[in-house]
A and B are shown apart, each in its own frame.
Chain A
Amino acid sequence: AQTVTQSQPEMSVQEAETVTLSCTYDTSENNYYLFWYKQPPSRQMILVIRQEAYKQQNATENRFSVNFQKAAKSFSLKISDSQLGDTAMYFCALSSGTYKYIFGTGTRLKVLA
């Protein structure tokens, strides 16, 4: 079975500062993908960043980057230069060939002006 754990139900950060959201996971698969999704108040799920497990290099997308520690099964998301529009629920997700998309419980991020 696969599990995804997000241990921070809520976080806040000052505008322009940096924040890191944590995620740990467990899987018996060798090939899998990890994702961070953003769900703003509109509830539209938006892909923030994606990481293939076989790639050692951490994925980055503009202000968003991950720290992928495969041995520790950790996949944290760093948001740099936080903006008010970053306020949302953030979900970590794991997907593999056998198990499709398991989501963590989410972290509610609030960016403060």
Chain B
Amino acid sequence: GAVVSQHPSWVICKSGTSVKIECRSLDFQATTMFWYRQFPKQSLMLMATSNEGSKATYEQGVEKDKFLINHASLTLSTLTVTSAHPEDSSFYICSAEDRDNEQFFGPGTRLTVL
């Protein structure tokens, strides 16, 4: 099956700094990628839809200036958490959609903001 990678798998940063998370589709091209957030023992919540070559579409309640998304190529989307605060600590998961509208998920990135 298709493989999606995320880097880093975990990151610890100080409050006020920015953190970039990469999401790559390794063996297929994805015009659309998605970013999710998952709190402990909770479900996945869609944050934004990332479209290659255009601006991301953010879900209601998600601050676009805080969670910057860039989808510069058909295999790479990045999520930058700007001026991170402890409440941004969470598990972030990306997924990439193939031509059959099937999503393949990355392994996730655990962000801890001190």
A contact set with B: CB distance below 8 Å: 33, 37, 42-47, 50, 91, 95, 100-106
Contacts and interface: CB of A to CB of B under 8 A. Distances in A.
For chain B, the bracket of interface size reads 10 to 19
12 contacts: A42-B107, A43-B91, A43-B93, A44-B105, A45-B95, A95-B101, A100-B34, A100-B49, A101-B34, A103-B44, A103-B45, A106-B43
B49 A43 contact: no
Q: Which of A45, A103, A105 has the most CB of B within 10 A?
A: A45
B49 A45 contact: no
Nearest to B49: A100
Main SS class of interface, B = strand
A29 B68 CA distance: 30
Contact of A33 (B101, B104, B107): B101
A106 B40 CA distance: 12
